Amino acid sequence: MNSRIVHIARNTFREAVRDRVLYNLIAFALLLSGAAIFVGQISIDIERLVVVNLGLTAVSLFGVVIAIFIGIGLVSKEIEKRTLYTVLSRPVRRWEFIVGKFFGLAGTLVVNTFFMAIGVFGALLYVAHKFTRPDALILVALYFIILEFLIICSLALLFSSFSSPLLSAVFAFSLFVIGSFADDLRGFAGLTHGFTRWFATGAAYLVPNFSALNVISAVAHQHAPGAQLIVQNTLYALFYTAMALSGAVLIFERRNLK
Partner 1 sequence: MKPADPSFAHPDAVTLVTGRNVLNAVVLHIIFFGNTSLRQSLAQMTAIEILGLEKTYKVGFWLKRVRRALQPLHLTVEEGEIFGFLGPNGAGKTTTLKMLMGLVFPTAGTARILGREWTDPEVKAQIGFLPEQPYFYDYLTAHELLDYYGQLSGVPGKDRKRRVDEVLQRVGLADVKGVQLRKFSKGMLQRAGIAQAILHNPKLVFFDEPMSGLDPLGRREVRDLMEQLKQEGKTVFFSTHILSDAEALCDRVAIINKGELRGVGAVEDLTSTVQGKVEVIWQGTQIPASIKALGAECHATGDTVRAVLPENQQDAAIDALRRERIRLIAITPLRTSLEAYFVEKLQHSQTTAGTTA
Partner 2 sequence: MTARQRTTVIASASLAVSMAACVLLLRHIDRIRPQASIDDVLYVASPQMVKRASLGFDGLMACIYWTRTVQYFGHRHYNREKSYNELAPLLEITTTLDPQLFPAYQFGASFLAPTPPNGAGEPARAIQLMEYGIAHNPDNWQIYYNLGFVYYTELKDYKSASEIFARGSKVPGAHPFMKILAAQMAEHAGDFATARLLWSATFETSNETNIRQNAMEHLRAISVDEDVTNLQAAVTRFGERTGRLPSGMSELVAAEHLPGIPADPDGNPYQLTPQGRVQIAKPDDFPFVTKGLPSGYKLSGLPKFHTKI
- What is the binding site for partner 1 (CB under 8 A)? 3-4, 7-8, 11, 14-15, 18-19, 81-93, 254, 256-257
User: What is the closest distance, in whole angstroms, from the C-beta atom of residue 199 to partner 1 in the complex?
Assistant: 28
Residue type, 132: T
Select 38 or 85, whichever has its Cβ closest to partner 1. 85
User: What is the closest distance, in whole angstroms, from the C-beta atom of residue 83 to partner 1 in the complex?
Assistant: 6
User: What is the closest distance, in whole angstroms, from the C-beta atom of residue 160 to partner 2 in the complex?
Assistant: 16
Measured between alpha carbons, how far is residue 200 from residues 30, 72, 180, 188, 195 in Å?
A: 42, 27, 16, 8, 9
Which entry of partner 2, partner 1, none binds 242, CB below 5 to 8 A by partner kind? partner 2
Select 4 or 186, whichever has its Cβ closest to partner 1. 4
User: What is the closest distance, in whole angstroms, from the C-beta atom of residue 250 to partner 2 in the complex?
Assistant: 5
- For CA atoms 39, 41, 43, 44, the dihedral sign is negative
User: What is the closest distance, in whole angstroms, from the C-beta atom of residue 181 to partner 1 in the complex?
Assistant: 37
Select 25 or 229, whichever has its Cβ closest to partner 2. 229
Buried-exposed string 32-69: b where 16+ CB fall within 10 A, e elsewhere: beebbeebbeeeeeebbbbbbbbbbebbbebbbebbbb
**Distance separating alpha carbons of residues 196 and 60, to the nearest angstrom:** 33
Which entry of partner 2, partner 1, none binds 34, CB below 5 to 8 A by partner kind? none
**Distance separating alpha carbons of residues 243 and 253, to the nearest angstrom:** 15
Select 139 or 242, whichever has its Cβ closest to partner 2. 242
DSSP letter assigned to residue 90: S
- For CA atoms 112, 118, 122, 125, the dihedral sign is positive
Residues engaged in binding partner 2 (CB under 8 A) = 93-95, 181, 183-184, 186-188, 190-191, 205-206, 209, 211-212, 217-218, 220-221, 226, 228-229, 232-233, 235-236, 239-240, 242-243, 246-247, 249-250, 253
Helices (H), the chain: 2-18, 24-42, 47-71, 73-81, 84-88, 94-128, 137-160, 165-180, 182-191, 194-206, 210-213, 216-220, 227-254
User: What is the closest distance, in whole angstroms, from the C-beta atom of residue 248 to partner 2 in the complex?
Assistant: 9
User: What is the closest distance, in whole angstroms, from the C-beta atom of residue 145 to partner 2 in the complex?
Assistant: 16
Which entry of partner 2, partner 1, none binds 42, CB below 5 to 8 A by partner kind? none
Which entry of partner 1, partner 2, none binds 115, CB below 5 to 8 A by partner kind? none
Q: Is 249 helix (H, G, I), strand (E, B) or coil?
A: helix
Which entry of partner 2, partner 1, none binds 89, CB below 5 to 8 A by partner kind? partner 1
CA angle 15, 114, 206 (to 5 degrees): 80
